[in-house]
Structure 1
């Protein structure tokens, strides 16, 4: 289902809060809430929210790694392993 088909005014949220929460818990698509005709919030179930946050965290780690590569802040794998082994032996 397209998100554009799940747009409701805040008055709908107020009148149907329990039903909306139940639907979201059962796997319904996120719901866009509008106020004065403008999108103001997105409601989604907790599992989907947590998955989105984990995905964003991984993307941030990848972007950070890419910036480090571009800045030349890299070490060859063999050198890194040798350094790790050296610290264990010491």
Structure 2
């Protein structure tokens, strides 16, 4: 997705804050904010932010799992299941 159409100066945000927040919630597209012609921030709705955070957390878990596999820190699934069953008894 290109964000070039979603670029606004900070002065626009100051004048239209309520409208911007409403648009963010409805469209769920981030808004790039510039100051003195330079990109300074990206605004997004809360739901999108939470989804992004959950996705990053899952990616971190997968990366950690891949590191453990690469380091040989794995056990056969049958051994794990047997150990869990033994603890349950």
Decide: shared fold, TM above 0.5. Answer: yes
TM-score computed with the length of structure 2 as normaliser: 0.92
- Find the counterpart in structure 1 of residue 52 from structure 2: 52
Deviation per CA, 1:4-63, whole angstroms, max 9, x where unpaired?
211111111101101101111112411001122221111111111111111111101000
Query: Given the alignment of the two structures, is residue 39 of structure 1 paired with residue 39 of structure 2, yes or no?
Result: yes
Structure 1: 5+ residue runs without aligned partners?
Answer: none
- In the alignment of these two chains, the number of paired residues is 89
Structure 2: 5+ residue runs without aligned partners?
Answer: none
- Find the counterpart in structure 2 of residue 29 from structure 1: 29
The 1-side partners of 2:28 and 2:86 are apart by 53
The 2-side partners of 1:5 and 1:78 are apart by 54
Aligned residues: CA RMSD: 1.2
Runs of 4+ displaced beyond 6 Å: none
Paired residues for 1:64-75 under 5 Å: 64-75=64-75
